Amino acid sequence: MSQYNEAKQHSQNYIEQVCEQVRWKKAHPIVQEELLAHIEDQAEAYREEGYEADDAEYLAVEQMGDPILAGSQFDKVYRPRVEWNVLLLAGSIILLGTVLRLTLQIASGVPVDWGTEIIKIFAALPFLVLGYSLDYTALLSGKTSKIFVFIVVILTILLKDIVQIAGNNLVNYTIPLWVLLFIMTVYAMRGKETTGFLLAFAEIIAMLLIFAVLYKTTIPGILVWLGSTFIITLYALKKNWFRCSKKLGFLFAVCPIILSGFVIGHPHRIDRIKYMLNPGVDSFGYGYVPSQISEIMKNASFLGSGGVNLAYLTEHLPNMHTDYILTTALSYWGWLSILVILLSYGIFFTLCFMACKKVKSQMGRFVIVAITSCWVLQFVSYLIINFTTLQMSTYPLLFVQGGYMRMINLFLLGIVMSVYKTGAVQKDAEPKTKTSVDSFYSERNLAQIRKSDQQIKEGRVIVKTMDELEALE
Amino acid sequence: MAIDKSLQTGSTTMLLLKLLEDGDLYGYQMIERLEERSNNVFALKAGTLYPLLHNMEEQGLVVSYEQMAETGRKHKYYSLTKKGRDLLAAKEQEWQVFSGAVNKVLQGGSAIVTI
């Protein structure tokens, strides 16, 4: 038997020599698996030809050829991948978007501090690197994931108190991070039956209540939370992650959305619907901004300045350079500029979703879908206040404005890039679950199958049913 | 006899795609079948096969999936995609043209009569 162990060691040495040539460590598991499977297949063929087990093993390894040569072939092919489309488009949106935003500012006579703006962009870059090097797999299990949860919770609690000092509700900014935490829950629950689903569902409701009631998060924040978790839940149900009835699952997924109507629908917010439908009702109070937006939209032209120019905006529209950048662009450059902007973001979101196809890990796809949903919903909230009479507070314009939110969004971009990086080699870990398939291939059954194979080969027994197989034991 | 490597490398992708035309196979099966069908002229090494398969998958010519065999061993099967089938057809045609031309030249052109 020890000769056989030596032979096994020989195989192991071969595989190690191959892996030494493969510089990217993340690819080692997949290379080892492929080579090992191949050696075993070859050894089995030799055993069938009549060779002894250890000889078969040695021969199989010799058959593989030069390990250094093989290793360098693997090294050429298994490289971390950068999804340049997505990265470059994001970069262009950040740079061009910032330039356009600042151009509008200058055109309306507001001085621009280019130095500060450039520093703000550079200050966000380390977060991109952090997300990329952290690698989404670290979030799924182990120490790093626990540290991440801890940081997000502390950050949220801290920002809650700072909210009283600053004008904006900064807790909104942490919501995309909570979406990542939600994914971690979904990942932990995979393969579990209805319990897992109910836990995820409970998390959605619990956080909804905490955000809406305790933290008084604004509507866009709730939109991002509910929207992203809804999309993730649907995706998980579709991929049978939860293994519960799909109709039931869909019903549960819709509940938080209905609940949110009660939670966020208090008089102040319902009034907003009133002003949305008829701004004239209170044109100097809450109806003021909606009626301005309405006015701007009516007078805008396709190309160039419409009936309403920048001077008018400066006088009548508050926060035009932070909250109403797109409305300002519309007044200055016309609808064509808005089309170009919508197209750029649209292509970016589409590229993100489409690059999912190259990603083997189901979990990786989840992460991409979740993060892209967060981005889409942030962008949509900005579109709503810029082009409709429904006014509320909003996320900053995605990537282009808002230093702190940009840091968080670039961190998320880093995570997305890390998913693409390992796309072809990262496999999902098998969930620890008892299903009929898994129990069929339990160790006991495997041993029985091998034994009956052997006996059949020796021409001794013909087994027709599982019962007869068990009777052999 | 040993065939010059440069003649082999270009057509290996086409040969692998052809093997998959009739059904999904895993790595070891592909090497065996290639040896059989080429009368042992093509003896592909595992170290060449797997990187090549990975490349083909990156290009969208094949997809892989894992399946449990009856013996309880797990194998990674490869399957042709539509893109793979189209490329195979194109490469086969290319090969017909190429090999046809080479054969004609080697036959010396004695059948051609010039006036």
For A251-274, the pLDDT digits (tens) are 777 777 777 776 666 666 677 777
Residue B45 and residue A65: Cβ atoms within 8 Å?
yes
Q: Looking at the predicted structure, is the pLDDT value of residue A243 above 50?
A: yes
DSSP codes joined into one string, A3-32: HHHHHHHHHHHHHHHHHHT---GGGHHHHH
Confidence of residue A54 (pLDDT cuts 50, 70, 90): confident
Q: Looking at the predicted structure, is the pLDDT value of residue A223 above 80?
A: yes
Nearest CA in chain A to B75: A37
Which of B28, B54, B70 has its CB closest to that of A77?
Answer: B54
Give the pLDDT score at A267.
64
Residue A73 and residue B51: Cβ atoms within 8 Å?
yes
Q: Looking at the predicted structure, is the pLDDT value of residue A195 above 90?
A: no
Show Cβ contacts of residue A237 under 8 Å, excluding neighbours closer than 6 positions.
A244, A246, A249, A250, A253
| Confidence (pTM) | 0.80
Give the pLDDT score at B98.
92
In the chain, the amino acid numbered A145 is S
Residue A11 to chain B, least CA–CA distance (Å): 14
**Averaged pLDDT score across all residues of chain A:** 83
CB-CB contact of A109 with A313 (8 Å): no
Residue B28 and residue A64: Cβ atoms within 8 Å?
no
Residues in B touching A64 (Cβ below 8 Å): 45-47
Instruction: Supply φ then ψ for residue A464, to 5 degrees.
Output: -105, -30
Q: Looking at the predicted structure, is the pLDDT value of residue A246 above 80?
A: no
Confidence of residue A396 (pLDDT cuts 50, 70, 90): very high
Give the pLDDT score at A151.
92
* Number of cross-chain residue pairs from A and B with Cβ atoms under 8 Å apart: 69
Confidence of residue A20 (pLDDT cuts 50, 70, 90): very high
- The DSSP bridge pattern shows strands B62-68 and B25-26 to be unpaired
Q: Which two tokens stand for residue A311?
A: 């001077």
**H-helix or E-strand containing A164?**
none
Mean pLDDT over residues A23-29, rounded?
A: 89
Which of A409-423, B86-100, B101-115 has the weakest average pLDDT? B101-115
For A284, counting Cβ atoms within 10 Å of its Cβ (0-12 exposed, 13-18 middle, 19+ buried), the class is: exposed
**Residues B21-73 pLDDT 10s:** 999 999 999 999 999 999 988 888 888 899 899 889 888 899 988 888 777 78
What 8-state DSSP symbol labels residue A345?
A: H
Residue A93, beta-bridge partner list: none
* Alpha-helical regions (H) of A317-361: 325-333, 335-354
Residues in A touching B27 (Cβ below 8 Å): 34, 37-38, 41
Give the pLDDT score at A431.
54
Mean pLDDT over residues A2-21, rounded?
A: 87
**Residues A441-459 pLDDT 10s:** 444 455 555 665 666 556 5
Rounded to whole angstroms, how far apart are CA atoms A108 and A316?
13
CB-CB contact of A384 with A394 (8 Å): yes
Give the pLDDT score at A342.
96
The residue with greater pLDDT, A217 or A229, is: A229
- The DSSP bridge pattern shows strands B74-80 and B62-68 to be antiparallel
Rounded to whole angstroms, how far apart are CA atoms A212 and A118?
35
Tell me the helix, strand and coil percentages in chain A, rounded to 5. Answer: 75, 0, 25
Rounded to whole angstroms, how far apart are CA atoms A45 and A50?
9
The candidate with the shortest Cα–Cα distance to A136, out of A351, A369, A350, A346, is A369
- The DSSP bridge pattern shows strands B25-26 and B74-80 to be antiparallel
**Residues A291-335 pLDDT 10s:** 888 888 888 888 888 778 888 888 888 888 889 999 999 999 999
What 8-state DSSP symbol labels residue A189?
A: T
Give the pLDDT score at B68.
84
Checking ipTM against 0.90, whether it exceeds it is no
Q: Looking at the predicted structure, is the pLDDT value of residue A215 above 80?
A: no
The residue with greater pLDDT, B88 or A428, is: B88
Residue A65 and residue B47: Cβ atoms within 8 Å?
yes
Test mutation, A35, A61, A73, A76, chain B, max B CBs within 10 A: A73
The candidate with the shortest Cα–Cα distance to A245, out of A204, A190, A193, is A193
Which of A86-100, A117-131, A248-262, B4-18 has the weakest average pLDDT? A248-262
Give the pLDDT score at A391.
83
